[in-house]
Chains A and B, each alone.
Chain A
């Protein structure tokens, strides 16, 4: 979805390096999410944020940190990258929950392919 952008799209780095992945959205959504996907597996939630300065851990937050300084931006950091963090990373956004199950639809960015050597 062009309304959700991620940078960089591809990154190769070395063990121990600090890496930041950026996500920006123009949908005006309050909620933003970071997921990772390993080959052949579904997505797993790393962190999520419901508003600026609001940060919540997901299933697999160890080794990661996030920052939400503005509504439109949510960044994911790997403080000291390790090889098992090699994965495809997705950012997503959603509106607040509305009646009828609406608003919970998540809109995903194109992904960042990260390789840690």
Chain B
């Protein structure tokens, strides 16, 4: 599974969009990009995933560059409850290990 690089921390004003970047320059053709978040010592929560097309669900949008070497998670209207550590994970869609490799993630602080 490809390695990912994320900024250590970011701030965002409440009500504004939070844009969290992730670099995955060694991603291979069959690997998906997954995003999870962890709110203060709770269990991580799945947010969204994608292969090459942009994806949107009720929680967030995922924008993947055309070369797939980077992606951005967008929380359109951040609230204080979105303060959390956000993990970008790359893994093969057909991987048999089931393993998620959690890096350090990005600590997002949403401020009033």
Contacts and interface: CB of A to CB of B under 8 A. Distances in A.
A100 B98 contact: no
A101 B43 contact: no
19 contacts: A1-B45, A42-B104, A43-B44, A43-B100, A43-B102, A48-B98, A58-B99, A90-B43, A97-B93, A97-B95, A101-B49, A101-B50, A104-B32, A104-B98, A106-B100, A109-B43, A110-B42, A110-B43, A111-B42
Interface residue range, chain A: 20 to 34
Interface residues of B, number: 27
A4 interface: yes
B99 A104 contact: no
The DSSP consensus for interface residues of chain B is loop
Given A97-B94, A101-B49, A108-B45, A41 B32 contact: no
Interface of A: 1, 4, 31, 33, 41-45, 48, 50, 56, 58-59, 88, 90, 92, 94, 97, 100-101, 104-111, 113
A110 B42 CA distance: 6
